[in-house]
């Protein structure tokens, strides 16, 4: 206790106190965000590279505190993870996404894949599988329409426990996708262990695709490896026709990015998918 006190004293800096106060305010706001209905979901279309048909959507959470500017998930998801709020928030996201999908199917949406981001903290919860299965059953969604996007950090943090949990969900029909592939520590072994069905090539590899030979070499290698492992590949952050054409030519399966569509509010996604008003 004594040494902790000392280190706190040594680290004390006015600007740090300010940052902490700001963070605590944000945390306080985030705690109430769900009750206040300030969280909402956007849906970013995923397009088949070959046919340009809509094949899926990634669920992306948005936070609009009343009377304040929108807070980016890149800012509040890490805070939610740090504070444990990611557990109730992540559960709300999954439930809301399933409800929305079931509603859309009733309005004539064709079969597609709905991808939901799950943080390692959620998977770490002892009753993660039971809670997700309960939501699937309560909402009546067909589990084979669901994809869980996991990150490479899970592999380092969790190991065996996470593998077993994801396996249990896979047995129910869910698919697993490795998000931001290539940025972390994934190896072929990790992809096999986690029995992933698809991988998403991270945006930095796509960005310079049109003029950077090195990026092309990396993307080609990922596509060749994925093909040999019979994994589907989604390219993220595709913004230009050049990027799309290149990926299509190289056999990338699905495309996600501003070139086809930004993440859309539910109403706009309905129009995009041709569901009518
Ligand atoms: P991510 O999972 O890698 O999501 C893709 C991010 O790229 C999204 O940012 C999306 O809006 C953005 N994006 C899509 N297409 C393009 C493009 O063509 N160009 C560019 N420049 N960006 C594009 P967003 O929505 O701000 O989300 C940021 C991150 O926050 C996500 O990265 C994910 O890690 C996390 N996140 C978002 N929603 C959730 C969620 O529901 N649960 C969890 N656990 N994390 C989430
Ligand atoms: Ca993702
Ligand atoms: Ca990603």
What's the DSSP call for residue 246?
Answer: H
Each residue of 108-140: pLDDT tens digit? 999 999 999 999 999 999 999 999 999 999 999
Instruction: Report the DSSP beta bridge partners of residue 145.
Output: none
Q: pLDDT 10s digit of each residue in the chain, 277 long?
A: 445 555 555 566 677 777 788 888 989 999 999 889 999 999 999 999 999 999 999 999 999 998 889 999 999 999 999 999 999 999 999 999 999 999 999 999 999 999 999 999 999 999 999 999 999 999 999 999 999 999 988 766 668 899 999 999 999 999 999 999 988 776 778 898 899 999 999 999 999 887 788 889 999 999 999 999 999 999 999 999 999 999 999 999 999 999 999 999 999 999 999 997 6
pLDDT score, position 158: 65
What ipTM did this prediction achieve?
A: 0.98
Whose tokens are 């698919």? That residue is 175
**Ligand 1 atom nearest 180 alpha carbon:** 3
**Ligand 1 atom nearest 86 alpha carbon:** 44
Of the residues 76, 80, 117, which should be mutated to test ligand 1's pocket, given the most ligand atoms within 8 Å of the CB?
117
What is the distance between the alpha carbons of residues 167 and 175, in angstroms, rounded to a whole number? Answer: 10
**Ligand 1 atom nearest 122 alpha carbon:** 44
Among left, alpha and beta (phi > 0; psi -120 to 50; other), residue 37 is: left
- CA-nearest residue, atom 12 of ligand 1: 237
Measure Cα distances from 159 to 78, 82, 165, 199 in Å. Answer: 21, 20, 10, 18
Q: Which ligand minimizes its atom distance to the CA of 41?
A: 1
Q: pTM score > 0.90 for this model?
A: yes
Q: Which ligand minimizes its atom distance to the CA of 44?
A: 1
Contact (CB, 8 A) for 257 and 236: yes
With b for 16 or more beta-carbon neighbours within 10 A and e for fewer, the 237-276 pattern comes to bbeeeebbebbbebebbbbbbebbbebbeeeebbebbebe
Q: Which ligand minimizes its atom distance to the CA of 148?
A: 2
d(CA 163, ligand 1 centre) in Å: 24
């Amino acid at each position: 206790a004594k040494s902790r006190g000392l280190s706190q004293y040594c680290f004390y800096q006015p600007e740090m106190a300010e940052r902490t106060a700001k963070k605590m305010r944000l945390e306080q706001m985030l705690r109430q965000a769900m009750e206040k209905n300030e969280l909402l979901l956007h849906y970013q279309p995923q397009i088949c590279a070959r046919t340009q048909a809509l094949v899926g959507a990634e669920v992306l959470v948005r936070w609009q505190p009343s009377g304040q500017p929108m807070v980016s998930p890149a800012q509040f998801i890490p805070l939610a993870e740090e504070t444990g709020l990611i557990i109730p928030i992540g559960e709300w996201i999954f439930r809301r996404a399933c409800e929305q999908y079931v509603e859309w199917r009733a309005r004539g949406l064709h079969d597609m894949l709905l991808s939901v981001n799950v943080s390692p903290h959620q998977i770490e919860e002892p009753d993660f599988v039971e809670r997700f299965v309960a939501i699937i059953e309560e909402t009546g969604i067909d589990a084979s329409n669901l994809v869980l996007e996991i990150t490479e950090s899970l592999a380092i943090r969790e190991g065996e426990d996470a593998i077993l949990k994801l396996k249990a969900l896979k047995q129910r029909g869910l698919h697993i996708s490795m998000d931001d592939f290539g940025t972390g520590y994934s190896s072929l072994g990790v992809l096999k262990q986690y029995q992933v069905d698809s991988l998403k090539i991270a945006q930095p590899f796509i960005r310079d695709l049109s003029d950077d030979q090195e990026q092309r070499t990396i993307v080609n290698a990922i596509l060749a490896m994925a093909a040999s492992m019979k994994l589907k590949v989604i390219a993220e952050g595709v913004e230009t026709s050049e990027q799309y054409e290149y990926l299509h030519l190289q056999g990338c399966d699905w495309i996600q990015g501003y070139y086809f569509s930004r993440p859309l509010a539910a109403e706009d996604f309905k129009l995009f998918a041709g569901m009518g008003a």
